[in-house]
Chain A
Amino acid sequence: MGSFIEWLYGTDLLRPSIEWLYGTWASDFANGYRWTWPIAESIHFIGLVLLAGTVGAFDLRLLGLGKGIRPADLHRLLRFGIFGFGLLFITGLLFISGAPEQYFYNAAFHLKFIALLATGINVTLFYWMEFPTIQTLGPTDDAPRAAKTMAAVSLTLLVAVMLFGRMLTFFRPAF
């Protein structure tokens, strides 16, 4: 992974994007005030708690834990998860625009990005293929096997995103 980062850095492919990001209002905001970063990090973690709690609870129900709750009822809590994701996304963009090279040349960020993409695909497939069935399930009904698989994938990716997010600091490029 280290050699890939060095290769990427050597190509200068991302240099224009980095320079553009440094010129944005968000970058100025991230770097111009002492408390922007700590407050944004705090909001980022509040978003994580909301997302992990509501999505995690929904996934666990699909997997069979919390049987007795209609999945459609639990699904109503996901609006808070979406709000949490919004907080994560906005503050995440702020971090990236504040120090783009710290993310673009960071193996942990690449893995986090891949995990986020996979999460997006998993969510899309779930709503496309399984959600109509899930909406009709009763309190004690088992979710279909495909929905269970998607819930397991969702939980795994959630844990992976948290792991790679936490590792960002320790894979920061030296340059």
Chain B
Amino acid sequence: MSFFVWLEGTAISEWVRGSPSLWGFPFILYLHTLGLALIAGLSSAVALWILVLPGQLYRSPLLNLFPLMWIGLAINAVSGIGLLMAYPAKAMTNPVFYIKLIAIAFAVGIVQWLQRQFTIELASGGTYDDGTVPTYAAMQRLKRAAWSLLILWAIATVTGRLLAYTHSILLATMGI
């Protein structure tokens, strides 16, 4: 608990938590939503594309969306650290926070895997722009990954929201 007390006493933590400026906590929270829309939103769109239009998988155009997803992840990592710094005990003493982190880690792993598939293996049963014919098994793997990704983002989103309602400690400094 002394670690949380120390963290809550740092200048950055006090600024994010206590600053009356909209550029503090409110803007960081907004950035976290924007990042969510980029990484979870766009990768979910790719997952839906795989599930709904498997016969029309276009490798290279879908790849163009991935840099935006990684920008979204970077925004979320930075803003997430900012939010964590503001109320470290609130998140880190809550098991829901770890469920969220695990879901994000697996989801990001799948996004990375999908990017690799689109880049290297051309693993689908669909029509690629270069005429490659992928295998049925590879297409099934893509579909399983797409379903997993949608479920994992749903878990990450729900647990992210529930953090505000399930914490037992708000600030270690105040013992509440």
Are B30 and A65 in contact (CB-based, < 8 A)? no
Whether B161 sits at the interface, judged by CB under 8 Å, is yes
Q: Helix, strand, loop or mixed for chain B's interface?
A: helix
Known interface pairs A49-B37, A49-B40, A166-B30; A77-B62 also in contact (CB < 8 Å): no
| Closest chain B residue to A53, Cβ basis | B41
Whether B36 sits at the interface, judged by CB under 8 Å, is yes
- Segment among B3-11, B83-91, B150-158 that sits at the interface with chain A: B150-158
Are B157 and A49 in contact (CB-based, < 8 A)? yes
Are A66 and B36 in contact (CB-based, < 8 A)? no
- The complex places the Cα of A19 from the Cα of B36 at a distance, in Å, of 36
Within the complex, the shortest CB–CB distance from B126 to chain A, in Å, comes to 11
Q: Helix, strand, loop or mixed for chain A's interface?
A: helix
- Segment among A4-12, A40-48, A128-136, A145-153 that sits at the interface with chain B: A40-48
Q: Please, how many residues of chain B have a CB less than 8 angstroms from a CB on the other chain?
A: 38
Within the complex, the shortest CB–CB distance from A74 to chain B, in Å, comes to 8
Whether B34 sits at the interface, judged by CB under 8 Å, is yes
A residues near B157, Cβ cutoff 8 Å: 42, 45-46, 49
Whether A144 sits at the interface, judged by CB under 8 Å, is no
- The complex places the Cα of A37 from the Cα of B36 at a distance, in Å, of 20
Whether B169 sits at the interface, judged by CB under 8 Å, is no
Whether B78 sits at the interface, judged by CB under 8 Å, is no
- The complex places the Cα of A54 from the Cα of B161 at a distance, in Å, of 22
Whether A38 sits at the interface, judged by CB under 8 Å, is yes
| Closest chain A residue to B163, Cβ basis | A38
Whether A50 sits at the interface, judged by CB under 8 Å, is yes
Within the complex, the shortest CB–CB distance from B32 to chain A, in Å, comes to 9
Partner of A68, one of B40, B41, B60, B153: B60
Known interface pairs A50-B41, A65-B64, A76-B53; A45-B160 also in contact (CB < 8 Å): yes
Partner of B26, one of A67, A158, A167: A167
Are A66 and B62 in contact (CB-based, < 8 A)? yes
Partner of A57, one of B22, B26, B42: B42
Are A45 and B36 in contact (CB-based, < 8 A)? yes
Partner of A162, one of B30, B44, B165: B30
B residues near A51, Cβ cutoff 8 Å: 41
Pairs A–B under 8 Å by Cβ, sample size 26? A41-B161, A42-B157, A45-B157, A45-B158, A45-B161, A48-B33, A48-B41, A49-B37, A49-B40, A51-B41, A53-B42, A53-B44, A54-B44, A56-B37, A57-B46, A65-B64, A66-B62, A69-B58, A69-B61, A77-B45, A77-B53, A158-B37, A162-B37, A166-B29, A167-B22, A170-B26
Interface residues of chain A, those whose CB is within 8 Å of chain B, are 37-38, 41-42, 45-46, 48-54, 56-57, 60-61, 65-69, 73-74, 76-77, 80, 139, 158-159, 162-163, 165-167, 169-170
